Amino acid sequence: MKAIVQDRFGPPERLRLAGIDPPGIGPGEVLIRVHAAALNPYDWHMLRGDPYIARLMGGTGLTRPRSRVAGIDAAGRVEAAGAGVRGLRPGQDVLGFCPGAFAEYARTRADLVVPMPDGLSFEHAAALPMAATTALRGIRDVGQVQAGQQVLVNGAVGGVGSYAVQIAATLGATVTGVCGPRNQDLVRSLGAAHVVDCTAGDFTGTTTRYDVILDNVGNRPLRHLRRVLTPAGSLVLNAGGTPGHLIGAIGPMLRLAAVWSTPGPAAPPRPAHPPGPRRTRRRHRPHRRGQAPPRHRPDLPPDRCPARAEPAGRRPHPRQDRHHRRLIADHAPSAARGNSGSPMRAAR
């Protein structure tokens, strides 16, 4: 089959058209005849092996690409299905995540593709997987947008932003989209109630406060984004690094942590999990032989009863305090990373 391959990291000139063997499939996998594939920033990073720290983590390959054929978003037709595959059959049109999509055929797990809706072209379907699932994850799952909330999408006409505006509006939120002057009508047509011209002003300099901000651009200082959040607002970061950087998206994450740890209008830090005793070996050591375990004694005050004593300095769970902000960094869809990893989050 024909495929676009690369044998070394570097610029697009490293890519070439070559003939290679079609991939084989195993149990739970399907072979897709690719009709259309989409390009994403993810592919840019894979092409250049960037950030360099990803090579050490095994995500891209150390000195050369781990996979010769790039591409992840695709739409096509099921050519064959492996043992144990249910819900998909040969001849069925599908869209989804197909590693090695820049080829005539691609192999993928059956749970990473879904049947194509009627009336959708292969070209339009191929543009959906990464951008749409990233937007859905950022708005619904991570941002937890609810009806009646104020939501701002910075970068409202990009792949992720255009889907995010539609998803937030469908969930009943009042959406503000930030874009250039040429695309304001488009953003309104997607469901935005308000549009901010990014060339005419700074949305962080207004008095409007937002419950959720999805930042796809990363062109505003974190301190400025922080001040336009409501006391219980959430900032979802989707702008992660640029090619040629050593650590890529880790840099913005570190700056995010530094900004959120400085004194300011935000509430003091709260634990991201329910409070409780420190999980140390000594605290969980079984009682000694012949010694009865501690029991609740109503005749003793709480500080003298081991079963009732509260840890010193215990703070309420963040869900008991409405005035906390959340910072979430979500830089790549879990399916593209090959795992079901969760975003980094810090309750504030």
Q: Three-state SS string across the chain, please?
A: CEEEECCCCCCHHHCEEEECCCCCCCCCEEEEEEEEEECCHHHHHHHHCCCHHHHHCCCCCCCCCCCCECCCEEEEEEEEECCCCCCCCCCCEEEEECCCCCECEEEEEHHHEEECCCCCCHHHHHCCHHHHHHHHHHHHHHCCCCCCCEEEEECCCCHHHHHHHHHHHHCCCEEEEEECHHHHHHHHHCCCCEEEECCCCCHHHCCCCEEEEEECCCCCCHHHHHHCEEEEEEEEECCCCCCCCCCCCHHHHHHHHHHHHCCCCCCCCCCCCCCCCCCCCCCCCCCCCCCCCCCCCCCCCHHHCCCCCCCCCCCCCHHHCCCCCEEEECCCCHHHHCCCCCCEEEEC
- 54 and 168 part of one domain: no
Residues 330 and 199 in one domain: yes
Q: Is the pLDDT of residue 324 over 90?
A: no
Residues 106 and 147 in one domain: no
pLDDT for residue 172: 97
Q: Tell whether 209 and 81 lie within a shared domain.
A: no
Query: Are the CB atoms for 104 and 1 separated by under 8 Å?
Result: yes
Is 143 in the same domain as 232?
A: yes
105 and 158 assigned to the same domain: no
Tell me, yes or no, whether 52 and 143 share the same domain: no
What pLDDT score was predicted for residue 10?
A: 78
Residue 295 lies in a domain: no
Instruction: Please give the average per-residue pLDDT across 67-93, as a whole number.
Output: 94
CATH number at residue 46: 3.90.180.10
Q: What is the pTM (predicted TM-score) of this model?
A: 0.70
Note whether residue 315 is domain-resident.
Answer: no
What pLDDT does residue 300 have? Answer: 42
Please check whether residue 277 lies inside any domain of the structure. no
Assign residue 239 the CATH number of its domain.
Answer: 3.40.50.720
Q: Are 87 and 96 in contact (CB under 8 A)?
A: no
Print the domain residue range for 196. 131-267+321-347
Condensed to tens digits (0 to 9), the pLDDT of residues 238-270 reads: 875 554 455 455 555 544 544 444 444 443 322
| CA distances to 189, 316, 321, 334 from 273, in Å | 40, 10, 13, 22
> Is residue 290 assigned to a domain?
no
Q: Of 70-74, 140-144, 231-235, 246-250, where does mean pLDDT reach its minimum?
A: 246-250
Whether 311 is covered by a domain: the verdict is no
pLDDT tens, position by position, 152-163: 999 999 999 999
For residues 144 and 100, membership in a common domain is answered with no
Could you say which of 126, 159, 175 is where a domain stops? Answer: 126
Return left, alpha or beta for 260; rule: phi > 0 is left, psi -120 to 50 is alpha, else beta. alpha
* % of the chain at pLDDT higher than 90: 50
Whether the predicted pLDDT of 275 surpasses 90: no
Residues 16 and 100 in one domain: yes
**Is 310 domain-assigned?**
no
For residues 24 and 136, membership in a common domain is answered with: no
Domain count across the chain: 2
Over residues 273-289, the mean pLDDT reads: 42
The pLDDT assigned to 282 comes to: 41
Examine the pLDDT at 2 and tell me if it is beyond 60: yes
